[in-house]
Amino acid sequence: MTKIKSLADLKKMKSDLQSKISLREKSENPEGKVVIRVGMGTSGIASGAKEIMEFLMEETEKRNVDAIVTQTGDMGYSYAEPTVEVKLPDQDPVVFGDVDKKKADNIIEKYIKNGELLDGIIPQNYETIDKK
Amino acid sequence: MLVCGGTGCHASAGELLFENLKKEVQENDLKDEVQVVATGCFGFCEKGPIVKIIPDNTFYVQVKPEDAKELVSEHAIKGRKVKRLLYTDPVKKEQIQDSKHMGFYKKQLRIALRNCGMIDPENIDEYLAADGYEAMGRVLLEMKPEDAIQEVLDAGLRGRGGGGFPTGLKWQIASKNHADQKYVVCNADEGDPGAFMDRSILEGDPHTVLEAMVINGFCINATKGLIYIRAEYPLAIKRLKIAIDQAREYGLLGKDILGSGFDFDVEIRYGAGAFVCGEETALIHSMEGERCEPTFKPPFPAQSGYLGKPTNVNNVETYANIPVIFNKGAKWFASIGTEKSKGTKVFALAGKINNVGLIEVPMGITLREVIFEIGGGIQGGKKFKAVQTGGPSGGCLTDEHLDTPIDFDNLLAVGSMMGSGGMIVMDEDDCMVAVSQFYLEFTVEESCGKCSPCRIGNKRLYELLGKITKGQGTEDDLDNLRNLSDVIKDSSLCGLGQTSPNPVLSTLDNFYEEYLAHVNEQKCFAGQCKELIRYEIIPENCVGCTVCARNCPVNCISGERKQVHTIDQSLCIKCNACMEKCKFNAVTII
Ligand SMILES: Cc1cc2nc3c(=O)[nH]c(=O)nc-3n(C[C@H](O)[C@H](O)[C@H](O)COP(=O)(O)O)c2cc1C
C-alpha cells in the first residue's frame, strides 16, 4: 500500500474508491452483481453469522450466482440475528432476519434467482444522514 | 404485499389477514404476479396490522382480515389505492400515500452508527469511500486548532459516556494546559450491563474512532492516543488492530499525517472488565499499571491525567459523532435534538420489549415513541410497567414519564439519567423491589472498596432490600433505605457511589405502594419474590394427570392418578416447574 500524502490525494482516492464500490452496488452496473452483506458483530457471530457467511460464499459460487458476499457490523436488529442484507441490482436493499442455512438457501434460490420475497424480512426503520 | 408478522400485529388478527390475502391472491389467479409475505415487525404496532405494498410503498394501517378482498381487487388488480386504509398523518391530518413520507420512518436517525451495517469494517477502502478521514484531512490542513474546537462547541456535542459534559469545552480546557506531552484517551470500557453500543461501533466502524482521535489530538496538541478497551471484547479489539494497521500503512496515523506536519499514533490498552474502570480517573490508573481505583477530582484528567500529563478522555460514541460534525457542519448537527442536548443518542433496547436491539434516535424523542413504535411494544401483549434508563446509575420511570422528551437534563429532572444508553423495559411481571435489589447486587460487586460510603453503604442497602423481598421488612426500613441512599450519594468519592442508590430512590418514588405491600402485607404483586408467594393447586381444574408431581424436582407434590393433587408447602422451592408443565391451568400463585 502506498501512503496518502496530501488532502488532494485523499480526495482523489475517495472518488476512485467510491466509483469502484458504487459500481458494484449501483443499478447501472452492467454485470448486475448482487451484494450480500452479513451482519458480523458479536451478537451476529454468537448466533451463527459466520457459518451463514461461509455457506453463502460457497453456495453462491457453486450455484453460479454472481454475488459479492461481504461482512459488515451490527445492524441493530438483535432480536433477529443472524441478519443478512441483500441488494439486487436496481432495487432497494432487503434485510432478512433469523437466517439459518435453510433460509440462506431460500435467499439464493428464491430471492436472488427469482426476485421472490421471503417471510421474515425486516422492514428498515431508520434514516441515514445522507438523505437529510 | 408485505404483511407485518410481528407479535403486536399477530395479536390484532394479522395472521388471519395474512391467510385471507393469500387466499384472495390465489382465487384471483394472481399467484405469479403478487406475492404475499409475512415480515418482521414494522415497529408501528399501535396502528397494526400493517400491510405495505411494494414497489409503490403504499402503507395501509389497521387492516382487518375482511379487508383482504378489497385490497386485492382494488389495489392489486385495478391499481387503485384503498383510501380508507391509508395512514393519516396525526399532525397534518392528511393521508400519506407512501411510506417514504411517513414521520415514523424518521424516528431513527443514524449518525454515530452511520456506517455500522453499511461498510466492511476490516477494509479501510470502504471507510474512505464513505467520506472517511476527510474531516481529519480538512481539520489538519485547513483549520487552526481553536477553530476546530469552536466547531465542536458550536455543534453542542455532549459526552455520550454518561456524564454529558460538553465535548468542545473539554477539548478547550485540555488545549490550554501546556505540557511537553499530552494524551488523548478513548474510553471503550463500556461497563454498564446491557449496553453494547460502543462495542458495536468499534466492531462496525473502527476507523471513525481513530479519525476522531487524530482530530482531538490536533486540537489539544497531543501526539499520542490510547484506547482503553475491556479484554472481553475480542472482536472489537481484532478489528481495531486491523484498522490501526491499515491507517498506518496509508499514513493516516503516524508521522506527518497528510503532509500536515502533525504526528499522531494510537495504542490499545486492555482492561479486565470492571465497572469502575470506566470512571476516567480509575481508567487512567489502570493504564498506568496501578489498581483501578478512582481519585478525587480536581485535579481533572485535563490538568493531570495519564502519567501526570494533561489527558483528554472521551467515550467511543462521542468520538463517532466527531467526523460527521466536520463533514456536515456544526450548524447541521445543532439542528438535531433539543435545546441543550444536540444530535442523537444510541440506546440498547432490552427487557420485555419486542424489538430488542440497538437504535439511534434524535434527542428529544419520547420514551413512548422509543418503546411502542421503534421497540414494537411489550412482549406477549402484556402491560408496560417501567423503563430503566442509565443502568446501575439510573432510575426506573413509569407510564407517567412516557411522554417526556429524552435528553440529558429531562432524564435527570425525573430522577434517572441518560447514562451510557441502556434501556431496559419491564412489564407487570417485574417486581420493582427485586429490580432495585438486582442493581444493588451489581454495585456491591463492582464497588472498588476505596471509600466507605460506597463499600459499606451499598452493601447495607442490598441487605435491607433483601429483607424486604423476604417479607421481613418494616416501614422503618423504607425510611432507612432513603436516608442511607442520600448519605451514600452525598459522601461517595466517585460517580459510582454518587449514583448507585438511584435505582432504589427512583423505585421508592415511583412504586412506593409496591414497597408498602412487601412490608405491610408481605405481598409481592408481581409474584417474583419467592418468599412471599405460594404455589397452590386449584382443585376444580386439576384432573390428576400427575405431570406436576413427576416434574417436581423435590417431590413435594402428592396425589393419586385422577385425584386432585396437593403441594407440600414446607418442601416447595418455588421453582415454577409445576406451573410450566400443567396443561390445565390448575397451578396458581397466591
Ligand atoms: C462508575 C463509572 C463508570 C463509568 N463507565 C464508563 C464507561 O464504561 N464508558 C465511558 O465512556 N464512560 C464511563 N464513565 C464516564 C467517564 O468517567 C467519563 O466521564 C467519560 O468517559 C468521558 O467521556 P465523554 O465526555 O465523551 O462521555 C463512567 C463513570 C463512572 C462514575
Those residues whose C-beta lies under 8 Å from the C-beta of residue B216, and which sit 6 or more positions away, are B171, B184, B222, B225, B312, B314, B319, B322
Model confidence at B170, pLDDT cuts 50, 70, 90, reads: very high
Q: How confident is the model at residue A120 (pLDDT cuts 50, 70, 90)?
A: confident
More confident residue, B93 or B156: B156
A68 interfaces chain B, CB cutoff of 8 Å: no
Same structural domain, B279 and B160: yes
Residue B188, pLDDT > 90, answer: yes
What size, in residues, is chain A? 132
Considering only residues 6 to 35 of chain A, which have any Cβ-Cβ distance to chain B shorter than 8 Å?
6-7, 9-11, 13-14, 17-18, 20-22
What number of helices (H) and strands (E) belong to chain B?
24, 20
Which residue in this structure is represented by grid cell 467526523?
A: B323
Smallest CA–CA distance, residue B448 to chain A, in Å, is: 28
- Please name the member of B42, B134, B235 whose beta carbon is closest to the beta carbon of A123: B42
Residue B328 and residue B364 in one domain: no
pLDDT tens digits for range B276-324: 999 999 999 999 999 999 999 999 999 999 999 999 999 999 999 999 9
Q: Are residues B193 and B293 in the same domain?
A: yes
Q: Which ligand 1 atom sits nearest the alpha carbon of residue B167?
A: 25
Q: Give, in order, the Cα–Cα distances in Å from B534 to each of B44, B310, B467, B546, B574.
A: 39, 60, 18, 19, 7
**Has residue A31 got a pLDDT over 90?**
no
Q: Is the pLDDT of residue B411 over 80?
A: yes
Q: Could you tell me if B239 and B296 lie in one domain?
A: yes
Q: Would you state the pLDDT for residue A30?
A: 47
User: Is B112 inside a domain boundary?
Assistant: no
Q: Is the CB of B341 under 6 A from ligand 1?
A: no
Residue B110 falls inside a structural domain: no
3-state SS of B328-382? Answer: HCHHHHHCCECCCCECEEEEEEEECECCCEEEEEECCCEHHHHHHHHCCCEHHHC
- 3-state secondary structure (DSSP) of residue A84: strand
B116 located within any domain:
no
Q: State how beta strands B311-315 and B344-351 pair.
A: unpaired
Which of B68, B101, B134 corresponds to the end of one domain?
A: B101
What confidence category does residue A23 fall into, taking pLDDT thresholds of 50, 70 and 90?
Answer: low
Q: Name which residue sits closest to atom 19 of ligand 1, judged by CA.
A: B163
**Cβ separation of A72 and B332 shorter than 8 Å?**
no
| pLDDT beyond 50 at A27 | no
- The verdict on B148 and B47 lying in the same domain is no
Instruction: List the single residue in A6, A18, A122 with the smallest CB-CB distance to B259.
Output: A6
pLDDT digits (tens, 9 = 90+) for B250-268: 999 999 999 999 999 999 9
Q: Taking the mean position of all CA atoms in its chain, how far away is CA A58?
A: 15
Distance from CA of B304 to the nearest CA of A (A): 34
Q: What is the predicted ipTM?
A: 0.83
**pLDDT score of B405 more than 70:** yes
The Cα B14–Cα B9 span in angstroms is 5
Number of domains observed in the structure of chain B: 5
Of all protein residues, the one whose alpha carbon is nearest to atom 31 of ligand 1 is B495
B94 pLDDT above the threshold of 70: yes
Query: Where does the pLDDT of residue B103 fall: very low under 50, low under 70, confident under 90, or very high at 90 and above?
Result: low
pLDDT for the residue numbered A132: 40
- Provide the domain limits for residue B391: 344-427
Q: Where are the domains of chain A?
A: 31-122
pLDDT of residue A28 exceeding 70: no
Q: DSSP character for B279?
A: S
In this structure, is residue B308 part of a structural domain?
yes
Q: Which residue has the CA at smallest separation from atom 6 of ligand 1?
A: B278
- pLDDT surpassing 60 at residue A25: no
Give percent of chain B above pLDDT 70.
97
Residue B527 has phi, psi (to 5 degrees) of 70, 30
Q: What is the CATH number of the domain that holds B498?
A: 1.20.1440.230
The three three-digit cell numbers of residue B94, written as one number = 392528511
Distances (CA, A) of A103 to A56, A96, A108, B336: 11, 9, 9, 39
Query: CB distance from A62 to chain B under 8 Å?
Result: no
Q: What percent of chain B has pLDDT over 90?
A: 81
B545 and B496 in one domain? no
Distance of alpha carbon B407 from alpha carbon B400, whole angstroms: 16
Amino acid at A24: R
Shared-domain flag, residues B506 and B398: no
pLDDT digits (tens, 9 = 90+) for B205-214: 999 999 999 9
- The CATH number of A31-122 is 3.40.30.10
Indicate whether B328 and B380 sit together in one domain.
no
For residue B40 the three cell numbers come to 418482521
- d(C-alpha B426, C-alpha B385), whole Å: 6
Residue B584 banded pLDDT, cuts 50, 70, 90: very high
Residue B196 Cα to ligand 1 midpoint, Å, equals 14
- Whether residue B246 sits in one domain with residue B187: yes
Q: Is B318 in the pocket of ligand 1 (CB under 6 A)?
A: yes
Burial class (CB in 10 A: 0-12, 13-18, 19+), B369: buried
- Say if residue B381's pLDDT is above 90: no
As a whole number, mean pLDDT of residues B60-87 equals 92
Task: Tell me what the mean pLDDT of segment B55-68 comes to.
Answer: 89
Distances (CA, A) of B474 to A22, A84, B282, B480: 68, 54, 38, 10
CATH number at residue B373: 3.10.20.600
**Residue A126, pLDDT score:** 78
In the prediction, which pLDDT does B453 show? 97
